[in-house]
Structure 1
Amino acid sequence: MNNKKALIILCLLLSAFTTKAQQIQRFNPDTIRTIVIDSAVNIVSHRLRVQDFIDAVVSDTSFYKAFQNMKRYAFTAENRIYTYDKKNKVNGKIYRKIRHDIVDGKRQTTYLINQDTGAVKKKNGKYELYTVEMFDYIFMNAYNSDFTSGVGSSGVGKGKNAGYKAKLKALVFTPGRRISGIPFISGKTEIFGPELRQYYNYEFARGTYMDSIPVYRFKVIRKPSTADDDTMIKEMTTIFDMNTFQILGRYIDMKFSNMFVDFNVQMNIELNRFNGGELLPTKITYQGNWDIPFHKEERASFLIVQKDYAPRPPEGGAK
């Protein structure tokens, strides 16, 4: 693979979760809008330290496990994608409403609605946006409820670029660590490290999530005095269950621009409890623009809603 092609592929992969300009008002992906904030929190009075939240963010595994848990459930998924032209006008739409059932131990997928309109596919049937394929890999392949319906997604988890996709998945599900091997970006992912910690403020609040769950909101936000090119992650908000300290939601705002890449992405992921407390994803929203040399700029929004979860029936039983 030549250097030019490698650079393009790497930057495309980054686009799955990371424009110049202000936040793009599309799906407004913000976990904070799902909780009612009661008050700011003096974490000392709650016998907590900043490091407790940092340790939980860096070491948590349950957030990603929630996506793996979906394999054991029947559920309905609604997937919406909007693509945009340079004036931010919608020029393509993808809509899937999919019912996932488990019958006699095997997963059964039924497309209730399957619609594509506008400029979303190439002549060969593959999707125009690499963002779609990468997003598919990071979130959807855990249960094969993909946007691409198998078209243009073969080999997404294999081949020369599998290692880069794994790094990007780590960036979303275990943020705060250094993710080596991503050109121009690796040194800016370790936001809790000694070099970058100076650029961020920490904010704490207490609230109620999904109308009933008491939570802490831990916000890591770039200091106003910090130069734009000193950081890549501008804000990361994490919602913790106050009783279990498990992560229930995460919002990430990433922006970066240099001569090689220009991206601006906001992403929100929300979980809820089902079947006696098991965490499962309920909503993912993404909005982002990215631009790299020698490749068409991509602008897209995603909205994924998952509902009607039902546990997998016993082997041999009907759903």
Structure 2
Amino acid sequence: MNKSKLLFSFCFILSALSLKAQQIKRYNPDTIRTIVIDTAVANIRSHRLNAQDFIDAVLADTSFYKAFQNMKRYSFVAENRIYTYDKHNKVNGRIYRKIQHSNEAGRNKITYLAKQDTGSVYKKNGKYQLYTVEMFDYIFGNAYSSDFGRTGGLPGDAKGKNAGYKAKLKQLIFTPGRKITGIPFLSSKTEIFGPDLRDYYLYQFARGTYLDSIPVYRFRVVRKPSTADGDTMIKEMTTIFDARDFQILGRYVDMKYSNMLFDFNVQMNIELNRFGGELLPTKVTYQGNWDVPLHAEERASFLIVQKGYTQAP
């Protein structure tokens, strides 16, 4: 496997800078902003829940990934906005898509309701300028791609030159906390609940309300202030659980790492909601930058909003 491409794909979910030009704010990928915390930690402990209960639930969960697989059975509208930035943090590329995804008699159809590209988006060969955008398009841009077509509850390994590193990227997004082998210099830093990394983190949990009406638990894994930056890659991971059935409704990840070979700083958020009793994705936000030697630094932000889910008869 090409290690440069593996780093590229991995860094898709890595990095964030403050935007100082053109007054286009980067999307703030922060699940916490959608939640009102209304109950102290002590009251959760009175329900006999502790940090290990939440850790076990994160590691055992399959519903978060299945929510993306569920999209294939629905019609809905997706709006995708992407901004790319130059080294001075000025916007140099914009991508907008409004897409009607339809499911008719088991057949999936995509209709572009709006499509606009401006600035430096594509290379001369028609491929995206940034590998970050290519990975976004592969994983989130096409709900009916084969990427979410496989059955089963978790993303798995894949064969082929490109499929392998894309599979590792999916594992990091949808099954965090596990060791992901094959990521140069970073495989040992993904297993945040393991014995080697557990002492580097604080565990915080509270009760709250999600989207004004849904009772939830918020479980935060946060790097201890005393921990050196180089000891960890994941600085924070927040998971939102439905208090009624302990299914995951949202996840926020903050990742930063820097050494002589690469530098990244990324925040990413994914939110779900129920439609007809089934979990489906409603919003994905990302902001970040990454830098690998011999390649141009990449900076981008994304917003994906999906709404109007209707299940085909």
TM-score by length of 1: 0.89
For residue 44 of structure 1, what is the amino acid of its counterpart?
R
Deviation for aligned residue 1:133: 1.5
- Which deviations, in whole Å up to 9, do the C-alpha atoms of 1:11-53 show, x marking residues without a partner? 1011221258779961011001111111332232111121110
- Alignment partner of 2:199: what SS? helix
- The match for 1:293 is 293
- The match for 1:218 is 219
- Which deviations, in whole Å up to 9, do the C-alpha atoms of 1:135-156 show, x marking residues without a partner? 223334542499xxxxxxxxxx
- The match for 2:155 is none
- The match for 2:266 is 265
Question: Are the aligned partners of 1:77 and 1:145 in contact in 2 as well (CA < 8 Å)?
Answer: no
For residue 3 of structure 2, what is the amino acid of its counterpart?
L
Deviation for aligned residue 1:105: 2.9
- Alignment partner of 1:168: what SS? helix
Question: Are the aligned partners of 1:256 and 1:264 in contact in 2 as well (CA < 8 Å)?
Answer: yes
Distance between the aligned counterparts of 1:94 and 1:229, measured in 2?
A: 35
- The match for 1:90 is 91
Within-5 A mapping of 1:243-262: 243-262=244-263
- The match for 1:16 is 12
- Alignment partner of 2:47: what SS? coil
126-135 vs 266-275, greater mean Cα deviation: 126-135
- The match for 1:55 is 56
Distance between the aligned counterparts of 1:158 and 1:141, measured in 2?
A: 21
- The match for 2:152 is none
Q: Which runs of 4+ in 1 moved over 4 A?
A: 19-25
- Which deviations, in whole Å up to 9, do the C-alpha atoms of 1:77-107 show, x marking residues without a partner? 0001000011211110000000111223322
Distance between the aligned counterparts of 1:290 and 1:96, measured in 2?
A: 24
- Alignment partner of 1:57: what SS? helix
Q: How many residues matched?
A: 298
Distance between the aligned counterparts of 1:299 and 1:92, measured in 2?
A: 10
Instruction: Confirm whether residue 40 of structure 1 aligns to residue 40 of structure 2.
Output: yes
What stretches of structure 1 of length at least 5 have no aligned partner? 147-156, 314-319
For residue 218 of structure 1, what is the amino acid of its counterpart?
F
For residue 134 of structure 1, what is the amino acid of its counterpart?
M
- The match for 2:172 is 171
Distance between the aligned counterparts of 1:38 and 1:181, measured in 2?
A: 42
- Which deviations, in whole Å up to 9, do the C-alpha atoms of 1:262-298 show, x marking residues without a partner? 00100000000001x1000000000010000000110
- The match for 2:182 is 181
For residue 92 of structure 2, what is the amino acid of its counterpart?
N
- Which deviations, in whole Å up to 9, do the C-alpha atoms of 1:118-169 show, x marking residues without a partner? 00111111110111121223334542499xxxxxxxxxx8631312211111
Distance between the aligned counterparts of 1:206 and 1:12, measured in 2?
A: 37
Distance 1:285 1:165, change over 3 A: same
Deviation for aligned residue 1:172: 0.8
Distance between the aligned counterparts of 1:255 and 1:35, measured in 2?
A: 24
- The match for 2:236 is 235
- Which deviations, in whole Å up to 9, do the C-alpha atoms of 1:187-209 show, x marking residues without a partner? 00000111101110011111110
- Which deviations, in whole Å up to 9, do the C-alpha atoms of 1:244-265 show, x marking residues without a partner? 0000000000000111110010
- The match for 1:29 is 29
- Alignment partner of 1:218: what SS? strand
Instruction: Confirm whether residue 199 of structure 1 aligns to residue 195 of structure 2.
Output: no
Distance between the aligned counterparts of 2:204 and 2:15, measured in 1?
A: 26
Distance between the aligned counterparts of 2:126 and 2:255, measured in 1?
A: 31
- The match for 2:154 is none
- Alignment partner of 1:299: what SS? strand
What stretches of structure 2 of length at least 5 have no aligned partner? 148-157
Distance between the aligned counterparts of 2:17 and 2:30, measured in 1?
A: 18
